[in-house]
Amino acid sequence: MIDIKFLRETPDAVKENIKKKFQDEKLPLVDEVIALDAENRKTIQRMEELRADRNRISKEIGGFMAKGMKDEAEKAKAQVAAFAEEQKSLETKQAELAEKITKIMMTIPNIIDPSVPIGKDDSENVEITKYGEPVIPDFEIPYHSEIMEKLNGIDLDSARKVAGNGFYYLMGDIARLHSACLSYARDFMIDRGFTYCIPPYMIRSNVVTGVMSFAEMDAMMYKIEGEDLYLIGTSEHSMIGKFIDTILEEDKLPYTLTSYSPCFRKEKGAHGIEERGVYRIHQFEKQEMIVVCKPEDSPMWFDKLWQNTVDLFRSLDIPVRTIECCSGDLADLKVKSYDVEAWSPRQKKYFEVGSCSNLGDAQARRLKIRIKGKNGNYFAHTLNNTCVAPPRMLIAFLENNLNADGSVNIPEVLKPYMGGKDKITVG
């Protein structure tokens, strides 16, 4: 959510930003919120005038009574009562105006960074850099769920009976590999100075609306029936929520946290063949990283975060590339975003395994996450990035470490987490 003062003073800049995001249907909202804001400020001003007049006249009543001016005192009391009635009406009106303004402001997209490429959708995202040499083996690589099945590592049929589509049982060494990737990612991030955290897996609605847009919320979140609780779609939600309504000391910043959690997502819509198996599912686990910092430091932390993911995948000898999301592919709260994509030897192309985002002060403004500065309080900046999400990470890992006989090599960094094994074998 952008600063309403910025919108009020530079409406053309806000409209131009909306156009860059190809959301022209939202252009009328700028003028609408400006009109509502003007009416709201006028209402507040009148309320303040009434409050001052009530205080002044209330003081006069005592003087009238002391002088025996009973009629004047009664008139003054009647005027105070009338002012109180008007004040009550204006308070109701002001609350309604504030609610309308907030609702609109939460749908107006954040101001994107000037470096973001302009484009309508993900087809116009821009490749930044490739890391590692993609390899295509001289044998056919099966679909990832077939690789897992041959290694007795997955049971999709039983999962469908128990929970429906979009769920799985991981078994044996594949389940162990899944846990190994998470444990390695945890230690990797701890070694980079991040504090490890296990957060709540459910959050209240005010946190949900603080960290994401209404459209994202509807498409992703599972609601707990009869309670003001939602299952998290990523631990970023509860990790940023940890700082709700707080005033942070400048000298304690930045807060750099890495968190483990299961994640739950509706994943609405139909998906293609490459999204069968464990690519797009309703339940998965993930190691995340978040940063809460001063505004001037967020560009630097953005670069550090995506580089962490690149370095982790390269430590597993998986080729990756970074993609910058164009304006039309950015969620409304985001200022700038990179996707990290891993090489798929089977598909002979890259696919997304993580996303790094700088949200500026959008989440902080919604959640009232402030920094205590020398010249007054100001809003923090928040960033998040996927370290690893093992379902997709497993796909990249299995395809890039598969041998012709169906066995899978274990790289050096994962061997301690796999009991010293250097290979997962068939049978």
Residue pLDDT, tens place only, 149-164: 999 999 999 999 999 8
Which helix (H) or strand (E) covers residue 145, if one does? helix 144-150
* Other Cβ atoms within 10 Å of 15 Cβ, number: 19
Question: Tens digits of per-residue pLDDT, 339-360?
Answer: 999 999 999 999 999 999 999 9
Residue 366 pLDDT > 90, yes or no? yes
Is-contact 287 262, C-beta < 8 A? no
Tens of pLDDT, residue by residue over 47-64, are 999 989 888 898 888 788
Predicted confidence (pLDDT) per residue in 109-138, tens digit: 999 999 999 999 999 999 999 999 999 999
- CATH code of 122-424, in short, is 3.30.930.10
Q: What letter does residue 298 receive in the DSSP assignment?
A: H
Distances, alpha carbon 376 to alpha carbons 163, 244, 250, 360, in Å: 52, 19, 11, 19
Average pLDDT (194-214) is: 93
Return the half-sphere exposure (C-beta side, CA atoms, 13 A cut-off) of residue 209.
11
Cα–Cα distance measured from residue 27 to residue 18, given in angstroms and rounded to the nearest whole number: 7
Q: Which of 328, 290, 323, 289 is nearest to 112 (CA)?
A: 328
Residues 6+ apart with CB under 8 A from 73: 61, 64, 65
Residue 269 has pLDDT above 60, yes or no: no
The confidence score (pLDDT) of residue 113 equals: 97
What CATH number does the domain located at 4-105 have? Answer: 1.10.287.40
Q: How far apart are CA 185 and CA 170, in angstroms?
A: 19
Give the pLDDT band of residue 72 (cuts 50, 70, 90).
confident
Mean pLDDT of the 284-304 span: 97
pLDDT tens-digit readout, 95-109:
999 999 999 999 999
Tokens of 67: 């002088």
Please tell me the predicted confidence (pLDDT) of residue 34: 97
pLDDT at position 277 is 80
First to last CA, the chain: 54
Q: What is the pLDDT of residue 68?
A: 82
Residue 214 has pLDDT above 80, yes or no: no
Which tokens go with 208? Answer: 């949900």
Has residue 390 got a pLDDT over 90?
Answer: no
Burial 377-416 (b: 16+ CB within 10 A, else e): eebbbbbbbbbbbbbbbbbbbbbbbbeeebbbebbeebee
pLDDT at position 276: 65
- Predicted pLDDT of residue 260: 97
Mean pLDDT, the chain, rounded, equals 93
Find the length of the chain. 427
- Cα dist. 225→219, 228, 230, 231, 363 in Å? 17, 8, 9, 11, 26
Residue 71 is predicted with a pLDDT of 85
Boundaries of every domain in the chain = 4-105, 122-424
Token pair listed for 24: 């022209």
- pLDDT for residue 22: 97
* Nearest to 174, CA basis, from 395, 372, 329, 357: 395
Looking only at the bridges linking them, the beta strands covering 169-170 and 154-155 are antiparallel
Residue 8 pLDDT > 50: yes
pLDDT at 275: 52
What was the pLDDT predicted at 272? 46
295 burial via Cβ count (<10 Å: 0-12, 13-18, 19+): middle
Alpha helices for 151-247 (secondary structure H): 156-163, 172-191, 205-211, 214-220, 235-241
218: left (phi over 0), alpha (psi -120 to 50) or beta: alpha
Q: How confident is the model at residue 274 (pLDDT cuts 50, 70, 90)?
A: very low
Contact 30, 108 (CB under 8 A): yes
At residue 420, what are phi and psi to the nearest 5 degrees?
90, -5
Query: The tokens of 16 are what?
Result: 């131009």
pLDDT of 81 > 50? The answer is yes
